[in-house]
Chains A and B, each alone.
Chain A
Amino acid sequence: MQPLGKAASDDDRPLIERVRRGDQDAARILFERYFDRIYNYVYARLGRAEDAEDLAIDTMTRSLTRLDLFQDQGVAFSSWVYRIAHNATIDHYRRQGKATLVPLESATMPVSADPSELAVEQLSNEDLHEALRALTDEQQQVLILRFFQDLTATQAAQIMGKSVGAVQALQHRALGSLERALHGRTNN
């Protein structure tokens, strides 16, 4: 997965104009640029490859066919795409009643020598994904954007429609919640 980079929004502009004129090559470049990232983002939220695939395709379709709406958004194209993905995820939750989420109880957590500390290095990716999905919507979003997607606090703030300070505070709380979720699992 390529890093998004700070200049991504500037790079996107000429491509967006070309897509508006019906240039399929430009659409292909934007698809290649964002599809993997969006798939990864949605997968982190849902934990199901089939759903992640459908929602990533849906997000890219909306992003590249509704550029007339993007004109008025006043945000970077990348942020707009993430917002569409986020909304699609929320819609999916509503439709499914969160039935597709993997229950945290099924995870098996490693135990540290010091019972007050998590053996973070020994946690499997799946442990982390499952614990993450036990957090609130915003907490999941900030951790995925900041650490799985490797976005800056500024980029995450634009996507989430918050100030940078608010994102940093939310990130701190989210990490605390994740730690508690993992601890709770270890102690059970």
Chain B
Amino acid sequence: MTTEMERLERLAERLRAVEPVMPSPGAKIRGWNLVLAAVEQSATVRSRSHPVRRLVLAAVAAAVLLVAGAVAASADSLPDSALYPLKGVIENVRGALAFSPSDKLDYHLDLARTRLTEAEAMLARHRVDLADQALSSLNDQLNDAALVVQAEKAGDPALAASLENRLVQAIATHDQQLAGLQGEVTNAAALAAITQARDGAAQALQTANQPASSNGGGKPSASPSGNGKGPSATPHPTPKH
């Protein structure tokens, strides 16, 4: 009887004695031709990818990452933040991509809600000036939303009714929040701004109630201003630090 080690060693020796299987000469020629073609192609690509070009690409990639990070960070920025102007740019882009009346209404109501939140935050930080701007912009958004509703009344009354219902609910919610704020602040300027905002919201409701013909008989532009003087330049105010 042989030991296990001896048996395994014999088996190992037998494995070592196995004749290596070699590729055919034809396979080797074919292999080299294919590898050579790939190596040539790779060398061409490498020569195109100059170090300076790589550096530029890396810089562009870094810039893209930086911008993406700033965009993400700006989404929740407040009027007293350095990133707030970027938020306005992104909101403008969003507005340009809202095509249907329903999307446009959602866009304006969403911005109105955002402005109200910003106004509350600014009041909490005693920045009445920025709160005033946010509330003014809130009114602009509600007016724009009202004009979207009004414009649909001539073309699609059923849709207009549905949009108006959403607008009414949104304004009611905002007004409730504004009333709450009114009871909390003591600053006279802040109180005046809130009162003005509530009046503006009521005015937006009236605008939405009016038939389309009262607005000159045609549909309003994509982003009409709340004061009826033309399209809004920006959906949110420019902060003054």
Q: How many residues of A contact B (CB 8 A)?
A: 41
B40 within 8 A of A: yes
Q: Count A/B pairs, Cβ under 8 Å.
A: 100
Measured CA separation A146–B228 after assembly (Å) = 86
A184 within 8 A of B: no
CB–CB A57/B34 < 8 A: yes
B14 is contacted by which of A40, A117, A120 (Cβ under 8 Å)? A120
Chain B interface residue bracket vs A: 20 to 34
A31 is contacted by which of B4, B14, B21, B31 (Cβ under 8 Å)? B31
The digit string for B1-45, where 1 denotes a CB below 8 A from any CB of A, is 110100110111011101111111001101110111011111100
- The verdict on A44 contacting B21 (CB below 8 Å), with A35-B31, A57-B31, A118-B11 known, is yes
A12 within 8 A of B: no
CB–CB A179/B7 < 8 A: yes
CB–CB A150/B16 < 8 A: yes
Residues from chain B with a CB closer than 8 A to the CB of A28 are 32, 36
A163 within 8 A of B: no
- B residues with a Cβ closer than 8 A to A are 1-2, 4, 7-8, 10-12, 14-16, 18-24, 27-28, 30-32, 34-36, 38-43, 46-47
- A residues with a Cβ closer than 8 A to B are 1, 19, 22, 24, 27-28, 31, 35-36, 39-40, 43-44, 49, 52-53, 56-57, 60-61, 64-65, 116-118, 120-121, 123, 125, 128-129, 143, 146-148, 150, 172, 175-176, 178-179
